[in-house]
Structure 1
């Protein structure tokens, strides 16, 4: 394994709403790459079903994961897209690339800044340290939301194909993210196919990103493939934190 090759693993949609699923998903990731060697993408009020601060027990779990080494990213605020999209491109992304969850695809700069500031403060109060960065739900951003992230001094964000600094536009890593879709049998099958191809095609890539979601545990086939892919990538790449992408 090359010391320069990195595996950046992450669990999305970390919220008390998904506690039971996270109870299965976190140990699977830990078994493959070790405790504290993956990122957690936290949603402060997932689908408006309850703030993080309303569940002290879950807040303590977040602090424990953070203390163990997990990086915490703000992952939107509600994970719901309630914007009206005027452009055909934005409407296509909102309907084809996600099921109504591209929260930051249509926000104004002001609204995005408000959610970023409130969400970051909530998470940082719970974990006692700064967040590592921001990842938009469904990896979808508007130009205004990127401007808001830069204004809020967020220095690391990612989409489907890169990790970058919104303040300087400096790209920290390139390459497709390996992720999984569980909404239908067709999506499950295509996710498994992509994952198996990716472990071959990306075996020599400098940086590999693999992202999983709580609903992945609803499919035994997906869970088995995630465990296989994580183990395969962990043999060719060193499980690493996102902060290792930052020069110096």
Structure 2
């Protein structure tokens, strides 16, 4: 029976410093998806230590992946959050990420400049438009949301939805399935959520799954990712984010 539901899989934090882990995750995806129908979220200069602009060999590889059909999203600029937060943003910065919500506290002008710079750099490398913009840790402040409407991206997503960045129209709903490697407690909770999701999210018309380079450091995480992919490819067709705009 044809699978009308979609599985959108993505590899986050792609850059020169994560090359080996990214290749391992690509191999895992290909074993289950059967083709390069997934997305990569590219960081132009991860934490200021891995500038994509200077990494010629990695640029060549990135373009080859794009030529093979992998969608490329702009994923912040530094990925690191250096802002001072207050109120609800302070809670999100402390509990939803480990200092990586770069776009949570930026003003509109700064957010827009980083979005446009990232878009120009990555599009020049891959030779085609970027698929969209996804903020590090899926966290957007008011300035980032205002900037996103001006930056010229087609798509954006957060923890709970994918939307048209030009019109704010919601294109898919549901929690993204992801994993955490930075502490035992977070690893355990992410494994538990993935197990729950394998049973509870099958009815969704669109399931999203996101992995990170750090996931390759723990065998339990890799096993859970593999089991989750195996579960959803039975009911959902691996697709591209751009399909949501069709």
TM range (shorter): over 0.9
CA distance in 2, matches of 1:155, 1:3: 25
**Residue aligning to 1:83:** 83
CA contact (8 A) 1:8 1:38 kept: yes
**1:193-227, CA deviations, whole angstroms, 9 ceiling, x for partnerless residues?**
11111011011210000000000000000001101
Q: Which shifted more, 148-157 or 128-137?
A: 148-157
Report what 1:67 is aligned to: 67
Q: Aligned partners of 2:73 and 2:22: how far apart in 1?
A: 16
Alignment of 1:219 with 2:183, yes or no, is no
SS in 1 for 2:234: helix
Task: State the alpha-carbon separation in 2 of the partners of residues 135 and 113 from structure 1.
Answer: 13
Provide the residue aligned with 1:93 in structure 2: 92
Which runs of 5 or more structure 2 residues have no equivalent in the other structure? none
Where do 5+ consecutive residues of structure 1 fail to align? none
C-alpha RMSD over aligned residues:
1.1
Q: Check conservation: 2:3, 2:235, Cα contact below 8 A.
A: no
Structure 2 partner of 1:38: 38
Separation in 1, partners of 2:37, 2:159: 21
Quote the Cα distance in structure 2 between the aligned partners of 1:65 and 1:231: 23
Question: CA separation in 2, counterparts of 1:16 and 1:157?
Answer: 23
Q: How far off is 1:188 after superposition?
A: 1.2
Q: CA deviation at 1:167?
A: 2.7
Number of equivalent positions: 246
2:51 alignment partner in structure 1: 51
- Whether contact under 8 Å (1:2, 1:237) holds in the other structure is no
Displacement of 1:186: 1.5
Counterpart Cα distance in 2 of 1:126 and 1:90:
34
Give the Cα separation in 2 of the matches to 1:111 and 1:218: 34
Conserved 8 A contact 1:36-1:66: no
Note the C-alpha offset of 1:2: 4.9
Please give the residue correspondences for 1:223-242 in structure 2 after superposition, counting only pairs within 5 Å.
223-242=222-241
* Per-residue CA distance 1:130-177 (angstroms, 9 max, x = gap): 000010000000111111111112221000000012332200000000
Q: Which residue of 2 aligns with 1:24?
A: 24
Task: Give a deviation string over 1:13-61, Cα, whole Å, max 9, x none.
Answer: 0011111211211111111113321000000000101211211111111
Mapped pair 1:117 → 2:116: yes
**Matched residue, 1:103:** 102
SS of 1:104's partner is coil
Q: For residue 195 of structure 1, what is the aligned residue in structure 2? A: 194
**Equivalent pair of 2:39/2:71 in contact (CA under 8 Å):** yes
Which residue does 1:164 correspond to in 2? 163
Following TM superposition, the consecutive aligned residue runs of length 4 or more in structure 1 with deviations greater than 4 angstroms are none
Q: Is the 8 A contact 1:155 1:166 kept in 2?
A: yes
TM-score for both structures, normalised by structure 1: 0.96
Q: Does structure 2 retain, via aligned residues, the 8 Å contact 1:103–1:137?
A: yes
C-alpha separation in 1, matches of 2:60 and 2:81:
29
